Chain A
Amino acid sequence: MDAIRLDLEGLAARVPDGAKIALPPDYSYCAMALVRTLISRGVKDLHIIGVPALGFQADQLIGAGCVATVETAAVTLGEFGLAPRFSSAIKSGSIRMLDGTCPAIHAGLQAAEKGVPFMPLRGVIGSDLEKRRDDWIVAGNPFEENDPILMVKAIQPDFAVFHAPLADRFGNVWVGVRRELMLMAHAAKSSLVTAEKIVDGNLLEDPVRAAGTIPGLYIGALAEAEQGAWPLGIPGSYDADAAELGRYVEMARTEEGFADYMAGMNKVAAE
């Protein structure tokens, strides 16, 4: 079956206000071009889930007022420091923050992947994270006496949103060892994907390639987007644009600077 192929605007149009979307961290194929398109379309009240952490995508979506809830183990710009628009939104109380921890997010997605309501997880008991989450419950191990264990409610995003180096006309998407993207795609109701290149052949025909490929079954629609992760990089293809990321961090220190930066991005996209 051929995949549904759209342009960036077409993909962005599929994300309704209030949608719950799963996003990868900065090192794992972020669909930055699609995120910018979502921002220009003015999407509102998103619930964004970091798998398991968030970076530039989240900071830009939050700064643009697209986000109601952030669920993640961390928001960080790595060597560029704290995420300025995220920090500002947290301090002013304008977003709801669901602080989590990496393996609990993976566990919640694994529950959704299996179609079960929750997943048990070791650790976490006694942290303030656990005390502040009503979708995490400490229960007893049913197979042992006196063994408290955390139950993490399944996390089912409406969409997994990410970029990939390669896809084919059937919607098969190659992600290599970045298997958190495969977990996201399995757990989400549907995935919206951009790819550097969409080829005519079938990626599943090559057994070496197939193991790192998400089948088209999980992919709602895809768009070709060359340099689609820019200004982030994609390992093995192009490096992150450190000068551009630095320029963003500098400008995003203030609300006005952030607005100027995003306006500049719109202008570039329109040309």
Chain B
Amino acid sequence: MSNSTDIRAEEILIAAIAEMLDGLPHIAVGASSPVPGAAAMLARARHPEKTRVSVLGSEDNNFFTDGGKELFDCAGQGRIDAFFLGGAQIDGLANINLVSVGDPDRPKVRFPGSFGSAYMYFTVPRVILFRLEHTPRTLVEKVDFISAPGTSEPNVYRPGGPYALITDRCLFSFDREKGRFRLASVHPGHTVEEIREQTGFGYDEPTDVPETPLPDAETLAVIRGPVAAQIAEIYPAFAADVFGLGKAA
């Protein structure tokens, strides 16, 4: 049994996400996603003969040669099995907002924009939403702007969609039939009451909510060894902060 005090919160998230990626043939990771990136690399380390990882912005982990469109063309063909999206706001229908808060024509806050979300959310079967600020400000009843909708009418072609939402407090699964999140596990150090207070949307809560498991010793060794080294190429500041890598450089 690992000593939980030695384990970083990021490492718990990396291990929990990797469980949801286990054995998938092709995992793609967008920009500014060090934790999902590390989780994809952990999944690949477990199945090196089966799993490919494409990380946008990486030179070592990006094999595309047909320009910016190739990732999307791959997704459209069903060649990408998992992807990650965030959101300045995420609501209970899994709609995500990457554009602005307030009236989009005169917003109170403006974010960079929707990137490829409005497409990847429809075409990639397992989209994992990732948000490290779990508050009523970010997990809202209804988003101010729909960059990408969580659910669609039955006649809309949609092999892809939301699979789970992981935050700094908990993991939700998403039921596409019901169009609703369900609390799947609470991270160590957090409580179901706290999740209720900090979540702005309604969700299903089972009677017994398990704790998100801690990574075992073998998993930790892979995260801190090869995964940390690989992620340092793309996110040196993250690798230095979480794993203490490359500080001398």
Contacts and interface: CB of A to CB of B under 8 A. Distances in A.
Interface in B112-134: 112-123
Interface residues of A, number: 51
Interface stretch (A1-9, A72-80, A196-204): A72-80
Interface string B146-164: 1111001101110000000
B157 A102 contact: no
Contact of B65 (A123, A124, A177, A235): A177
B69 A126 contact: no
Interface string A115-134: 00000011111111110100
B54 to A, nearest CB: 13
Nearest to B154: A146
Contacts of B68: 25, 28, 51-52, 102, 106, 179-180, 183
Contact of A123 (B32, B73, B112, B123): B123
A178 interface: yes
Interface string B96-125: 001110001111101111111111111100
Given A51-B68, A148-B155, A180-B68, A103 B116 contact: yes
Contacts of B59: 235
A190 B73 CA distance: 26
A78 B111 contact: no
Give the most central of B57, B64, B120, B156: most A CB within 10 Å.
B156
Interface in A75-89: 75-76, 78-79, 82-83, 86-87
Given A78-B32, A106-B68, A125 B107 contact: no
A149 B107 CA distance: 30
A191 interface: no
B99 A99 contact: yes
A73 B72 CA distance: 13
Interface in A81-112: 82-83, 86-87, 90-91, 93, 99-104, 106, 110
B31 A78 contact: yes
B189 to A, nearest CB: 29
Contacts of A182: 67
B32 to A, nearest CB: 7
B112 A83 contact: yes
Interface in B38-79: 57, 59, 64-69, 72-73, 76
Q: Which 8 A-B pairs have the closest CB atoms?
A: A179-B67, A74-B113, A123-B122, A103-B72, A76-B112, A123-B119, A102-B116, A106-B69
Given A73-B113, A87-B110, A103-B76, 9 more contacts: A53-B112, A74-B115, A82-B110, A91-B110, A102-B72, A106-B68, A127-B148, A148-B155, A180-B69
Interface of A: 25, 27-28, 51-53, 72-76, 78-79, 82-83, 86-87, 90-91, 93, 99-104, 106, 110, 121-130, 132, 146-149, 177-183, 235
25 contacts: A27-B57, A53-B112, A75-B112, A75-B113, A90-B110, A91-B108, A93-B106, A99-B104, A99-B113, A101-B115, A101-B118, A101-B147, A102-B116, A103-B69, A103-B72, A103-B116, A104-B118, A106-B72, A123-B121, A124-B118, A125-B152, A127-B147, A127-B148, A129-B146, A130-B118
Interface of B: 31-32, 57, 59, 64-69, 72-73, 76, 98-100, 104-108, 110-123, 145-149, 152-153, 155-157, 237
